[in-house]
């Protein structure tokens, strides 16, 4: 009998018996790499779908990418633009009213019927037309008559161009007749020397005949010759070419008048000037008739410190011939006492008339753009600057060294400069006010420069100055204002310039769009091009010069807006080479793995087919 101890742990149970192996000789099987790869990787079909999803995604996104990156290129009227280049000049014709006074032709003999004024003018007009056509047909350069004579004015629309035959006591008493253009401040009635008449409007070409010449049997021929010569000059077949010194046409032009004190610190400077009166008397009579062509804005300023960028040359400023002085000195050396006196007098004159001279090279750099504040910040329009330069006390008197030259010079497409020397008798510390009388000589020169800068025509030699309103008063020194004849020439001149520029611009747009495939042509550009083409086509059938000018002005504006449209310039400097340089770094890293994966799957698929067979 055994006694158990409660503190002693129970013994461990025996391990279960190990079952014997079914086949002790069979080794343990491990999975192959292919089985492991097949268990880890998705099936073949799933892998193929994943790889194909990338190109499918790109294919589905291609329409959106094409829409967002495509260039809009609307068609342009290329054929109509090409047709415009070959068109002749537009057939713009003006009507000229030919009238006459009852006393401008001889009375018929007693018992003969009195001819009406209209019949007489019509007979003279037919001869004038035949004469002008014959001159154009026989000339070296074939011309065309762009006007027609009419003999009655309609009530609603009266021709702006007029020719009037009249008798005047103040006309030339001998042949040939001296036609003139009626000015605004005077009017000669038929047979009147002083009376004002509303019959002859300002701007009318007047062909006066003295009463003593009315009975001459060749008066009719002289009327014809005078009218033909005047019309050939006032209304030429081809308007004069616009010179390079003139400003290119712009509908808005700013006229800037600047008074330049070289250095007001030296004293004797200009503090104020009557600029309003000078503009009113010298410029407005020429600017107002040009209102259908240009829109002028005027500004003025005074600069008190406008130094030159060079030092003028001090020397003799008179126009005596150096050869004359040399001959006098040579004769004096030979013992001729009279020649010695002449040489001494010439040398004394030269010493006494010395000045600071501005030569032609100095004129080119006269405007000191770095130191002079001439820019107009209030406008982007073309600016014509008229500079009145007052030299400082140490540079007086200042003159131009060019012989026989006025004290002003022209700067092509920029403006003009005039020199004004204050009186030397005044104290050096005085500040001047320039009245209208002191400004008139300089502004008279500025007016002539304005004609050159705007290519304004002057009267031909066959058209004489008009007689003064009062024979007891001297003729006015002011330049006669522009007449309707001159404005008509400006209209034709600028119409030709605008139409040529519009055609060239449209042709340039057509060539650029054809050459640069990446250039965009949107609705805005196409609409402007179509508008310019339509206006140029209407220009060919518009007889009125003013309406034709407006069409040409609008056409060139639309053509320039289309040419410089920002949408056309956007892709002008982004050719195909730049596109490849941008897209290759983006798509190459993605395309290589996709192509390699597709090749592997294709090879695996091909192997699977062979195994299944």
Whether pLDDT at 550 is above 50 = yes
Say what percent of the chain tops pLDDT 90. 48
Give residue 574's pLDDT band: very low, low, confident or very high (50, 70, 90). low
pTM for the model = 0.79
Give residue 196's pLDDT band: very low, low, confident or very high (50, 70, 90). very low
In this structure, the answer to whether residues 363 and 335 fall within a common structural domain is no
Q: For residue range 428-453, what is the model confidence (pLDDT) as tens digits?
A: 667 889 999 999 999 999 999 999 99
Give residue 247's pLDDT band: very low, low, confident or very high (50, 70, 90). very high
Is residue 183 within 8 Å of 202, Cβ to Cβ? yes
pLDDT, mean of residues 162-181: 92
CB atoms within 10 A of CB 281: 17
Residue 136 lies in a domain: yes
Say what percent of the chain tops pLDDT 70. 82
Give residue 605's pLDDT band: very low, low, confident or very high (50, 70, 90). confident
Give residue 328's pLDDT band: very low, low, confident or very high (50, 70, 90). low
Backbone angles phi, psi at 219, to 5 degrees: -60, -40
Q: For residue range 124-161, what is the model confidence (pLDDT) as tens digits?
A: 999 999 999 999 988 766 778 999 999 988 766 778 89
- Identify which of 252, 211, 289, 251 has the alpha carbon closest to the alpha carbon of residue 457: 289
| Final residue of a structural domain among 342, 377, 401 | 342
Give residue 592's pLDDT band: very low, low, confident or very high (50, 70, 90). confident
Whether pLDDT at 294 is above 60 = yes
pLDDT, mean of residues 520-538: 95
pLDDT at 1: 43
CB atoms within 10 A of CB 321: 10
Q: For residue range 70-104, what is the model confidence (pLDDT) as tens digits?
A: 778 899 999 999 999 888 878 888 999 999 998 88
pLDDT, mean of residues 29-57: 77
Average pLDDT, the chain: 83
Q: Which residues contact 278 (CB under 8 A, 6 or more apart)?
A: 436, 439, 440, 443
CA dist., res. 374 & res. 385, Å (int): 8
In this structure, the answer to whether residues 256 and 197 fall within a common structural domain is no
Whether pLDDT at 400 is above 60 = yes
pLDDT at 12: 57
pLDDT, mean of residues 115-121: 90
In this structure, the answer to whether residues 371 and 232 fall within a common structural domain is no
Q: Which residues contact 136 (CB under 8 A, 6 or more apart)?
A: 142, 143, 144, 145, 237
pLDDT at 188: 42
In this structure, the answer to whether residues 431 and 414 fall within a common structural domain is yes
Residue ranges making up the domain that contains 267: 252-317+353-453
Whether pLDDT at 278 is above 50 = yes
In this structure, the answer to whether residues 359 and 408 fall within a common structural domain is yes
In this structure, the answer to whether residues 280 and 364 fall within a common structural domain is yes
CA dist., res. 39 & res. 31, Å (int): 10
In this structure, the answer to whether residues 121 and 207 fall within a common structural domain is yes
pLDDT at 156: 64
Give residue 195's pLDDT band: very low, low, confident or very high (50, 70, 90). very low
Q: Nearest 5°: CA angle at 550, between 548 and 552?
A: 70
Residue 174 lies in a domain: yes
In this structure, the answer to whether residues 135 and 154 fall within a common structural domain is yes
pLDDT, mean of residues 164-177: 91
Residue 443 lies in a domain: yes
| Final residue of a structural domain among 426, 453, 480 | 453
Give residue 192's pLDDT band: very low, low, confident or very high (50, 70, 90). very low
Residue 534 lies in a domain: no
């Amino acid at each position: 009998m055994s006694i158990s101890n409660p503190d002693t742990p129970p013994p461990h149970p025996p391990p279960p018996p190990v079952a014997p192996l079914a086949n002790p000789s069979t080794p343990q099987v491990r999975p192959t790499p292919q089985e492991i790869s097949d268990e880890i990787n998705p099936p073949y079909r799933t892998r193929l779908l994943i790889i194909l999803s990338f190109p499918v995604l790109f294919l589905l996104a291609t329409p959106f990418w094409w829409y967002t990156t495509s260039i809009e290129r609307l068609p342009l009227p290329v054929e109509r633009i090409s047709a415009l280049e070959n068109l002749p000049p537009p057939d713009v014709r003006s009507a000229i009213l030919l009238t006459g006074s009852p006393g401008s032709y001889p009375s018929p003999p007693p018992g003969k019927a009195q001819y009406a004024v209209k019949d007489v003018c019509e007979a003279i007009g037919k001869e004038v037309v035949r004469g002008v056509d014959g001159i154009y047909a026989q000339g070296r350069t074939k011309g065309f008559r762009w006007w027609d004579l009419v003999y009655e004015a309609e009530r609603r629309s009266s021709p702006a161009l007029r020719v009037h035959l009249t008798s005047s006591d103040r006309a030339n008493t001998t042949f040939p007749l001296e036609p003139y253009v009626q000015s605004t401040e005077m009017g000669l009635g038929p047979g009147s020397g002083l009376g004002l008449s509303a019959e002859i409007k300002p701007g009318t070409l007047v062909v006066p005949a003295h009463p003593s010449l009315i009975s001459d049997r060749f008066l009719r021929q002289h009327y014809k010759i005078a009218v033909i010569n005047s019309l050939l000059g006032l209304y030429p077949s081809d308007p004069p070419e616009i010179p390079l010194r003139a400003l290119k046409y712009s509908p808005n032009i700013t006229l800037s008048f600047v008074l330049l004190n070289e250095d007001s610190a030296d004293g004797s400077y200009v503090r104020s000037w009557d600029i309003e009166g000078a503009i009113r008397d010298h410029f407005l009579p020429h600017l107002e008739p040009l209102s259908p062509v240009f829109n002028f804005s005027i500004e003025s300023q005074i600069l008190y410190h406008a130094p030159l960028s060079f030092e003028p040359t001090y020397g003799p400023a008179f126009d005596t011939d150096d050869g004359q002085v040399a001959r006098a000195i040579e004769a004096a050396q030979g013992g001729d006492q009279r020649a010695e006196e002449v040489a001494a007098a010439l040398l004394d004159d030269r010493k006494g008339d010395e000045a600071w001279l501005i030569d032609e090279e100095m004129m080119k750099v006269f405007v000191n753009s770095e130191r002079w504040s001439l820019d107009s910040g209030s406008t982007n329009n073309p600016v014509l600057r008229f500079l009145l330069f007052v030299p400082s006390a140490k540079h007086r008197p200042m003159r131009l060294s060019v012989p026989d030259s006025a004290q002003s010079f022209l700067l092509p497409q920029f403006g003009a400069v005039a020199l004004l020397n204050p009186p030397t008798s005044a104290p050096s510390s005085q500040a001047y006010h320039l009245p209208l009388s002191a400004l008139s000589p300089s502004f008279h020169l500025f007016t002539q420069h304005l004609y050159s800068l705007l290519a304004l025509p002057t009267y031909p030699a066959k058209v004489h100055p008009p007689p003064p309103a009062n024979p007891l008063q001297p003729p006015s020194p002011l330049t006669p204002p522009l007449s309707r004849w001159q404005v008509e020439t400006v209209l034709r001149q600028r119409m030709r310039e605008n139409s040529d520029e519009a055609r060239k611009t449209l042709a340039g747009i057509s060539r650029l769009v054809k050459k640069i495939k990446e250039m965009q042509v949107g609705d805005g550009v196409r609409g402007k091009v179509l508008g310019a083409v339509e206006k140029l086509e209407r220009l060919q059938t518009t007889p009125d010069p003013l309406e034709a000018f407006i069409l040409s002005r609008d056409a060139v504006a639309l053509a320039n807006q289309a040419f410089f449209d920002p949408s056309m310039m956007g892709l002008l400097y982004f050719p195909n080479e730049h596109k490849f340089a941008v897209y290759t770094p983006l798509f190459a890293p993605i395309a290589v793995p996709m192509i390699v994966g597709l090749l592997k799957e294709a090879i695996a698929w091909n192997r699977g087919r062979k195994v299944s067979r």
